[in-house]
């Protein structure tokens, strides 16, 4: 909320000081978000040791995350425009609208976190109890480095995340400056939400009959096709929507996250080192 307020108007008083304070605040925000995110996904191997059950949990978590992320994409322009209009009478995206947007997102974030914190129970079993010994920082990093499975999967996830986040980050500018229809940006969120509703719950069902390797290949091929369409689509909105459909088929992401959670047991078997949250971090 402080960031979206322009740091209490500092942006208009001293923009250099604003940039410095903004950078500090944003890093703090990002660090604490990472702490939450790592803890969230670190619960998957702590709740169940069964790979199929983890597939369901990961799919549900990804489904909820996709709904939240793409739900924002759908509502960001209407919310910022509406509250700016209430404050100024102008149909545009002003600071008043962005501040209101931040307040709404902040409230939803806190409520969601409370649901997770009070609604989740940790499962204790023999596998996890066997890894209760104290571990040094050096031991943690050595355990990760010696876990060849997690290293390769993490590298793949790094590249996937880089592509996914970067692409989503510039989609608004595509709608605004290339297509010239910023008001149509909600389509990107709507497509992603609908595809998320279909693909995430479908994954554990398909995985009963189709190996992970095939699902991963399907997810990667759909993403590659999406980028080819983005390149040739130019201002063709219909082609762009087809590209967005293919881009949001998240089988590759689900397989990668699941492989990382399963690699925790592999590391424990090989090195005697579990540390779920640290490994997933």
Q: Is residue 10 part of a domain?
A: no
Q: Is residue 211 part of a domain?
A: yes
Q: Which is higher by pLDDT, 210 or 150?
A: 210
Q: Distances from the Cα of 70 to the Cαs of 65, 170, 172, in angstroms?
A: 8, 14, 12
pLDDT of residue 277: 65
DSSP letters for 36-97? HHHHHHHTHHHH---HHHHHHHHHHHHHHHHHHHHHHHHHHHHHHHHHHHHHHS-SS--HHH
Q: Is residue 249 part of a domain?
A: yes
pLDDT of residue 135: 65
Alpha carbon distance 4, 96 (integer Å) = 9
Q: Is residue 37 part of a domain?
A: no
**Spatial contact of 116 and 40, defined as CB atoms under 8 Å apart:** yes
Largest CA distance in the chain: 65
Q: How confident is the model at residue 260 (pLDDT cuts 50, 70, 90)?
A: confident
Q: Is residue 26 part of a domain?
A: no
> Is the pLDDT confidence value at 273 over 80?
no
**pLDDT tens across 203-236, in order?**
888 888 899 899 999 999 999 999 999 999 888 8
> Is the pLDDT confidence value at 274 over 90?
no
Q: Is residue 53 part of a domain?
A: yes
- State the total domains in the chain: 1
Range of the domain at 142: 43-280
Q: Is residue 13 part of a domain?
A: no
Least confident segment among 5-19, 199-213, 223-237, 267-281: 267-281
Q: Is residue 25 part of a domain?
A: no
User: What is the DSSP-derived secondary structure letter of residue 181?
Assistant: -
**pLDDT tens across 93-146, in order?**
888 899 999 999 999 989 988 988 898 877 777 666 666 666 677 766 777 777
**pLDDT tens across 22-54, in order?**
999 999 998 888 888 888 877 777 777 777 787
**pLDDT tens across 52-104, in order?**
787 788 778 877 887 787 778 778 888 988 999 888 888 888 888 999 999 99
């Amino acid at each position: 909320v402080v960031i979206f307020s322009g740091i209490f108007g500092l942006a208009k008083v001293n923009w250099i000081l604003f940039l410095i304070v903004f950078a500090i605040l944003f890093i703090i925000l990002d660090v604490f978000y990472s702490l939450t995110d790592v803890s969230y996904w670190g619960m998957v191997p702590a709740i169940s040791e069964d790979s199929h059950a983890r597939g369901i949990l990961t799919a549900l978590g990804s489904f909820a995350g996709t709904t939240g992320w793409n739900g924002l994409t759908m509502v960001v322009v209407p919310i910022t425009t509406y509250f700016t209009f209430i404050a100024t009478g102008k149909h545009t995206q002003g600071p008043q609208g962005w501040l209101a947007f931040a307040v709404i997102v902040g409230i939803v974030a806190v409520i969601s976190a409370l649901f997770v914190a009070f609604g989740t129970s940790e499962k204790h079993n023999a596998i996890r109890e066997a890894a209760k010994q104290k571990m040094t920082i050096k031991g943690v990093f050595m355990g990760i480095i010696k876990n060849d499975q997690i290293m390769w999967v993490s590298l793949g996830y790094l590249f996937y995340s880089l592509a996914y986040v970067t692409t989503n980050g510039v989609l608004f500018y595509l709608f605004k400056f290339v297509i010239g229809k910023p008001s149509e940006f909600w389509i990107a969120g709507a497509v992603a939400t609908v595809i998320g509703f279909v693909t995430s719950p479908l994954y554990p069902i398909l995985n009963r009959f189709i190996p992970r390797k095939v699902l991963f290949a399907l997810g990667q091929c759909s993403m590659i096709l999406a980028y080819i369409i983005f390149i040739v689509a130019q201002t063709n909105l219909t082609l762009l929507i087809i590209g967005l459909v293919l881009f949001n088929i998240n089988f590759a992401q689900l397989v990668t996250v699941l492989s990382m959670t399963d690699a925790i047991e592999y590391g424990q078997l090989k090195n005697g080192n579990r540390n779920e949250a640290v490994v997933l971090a």
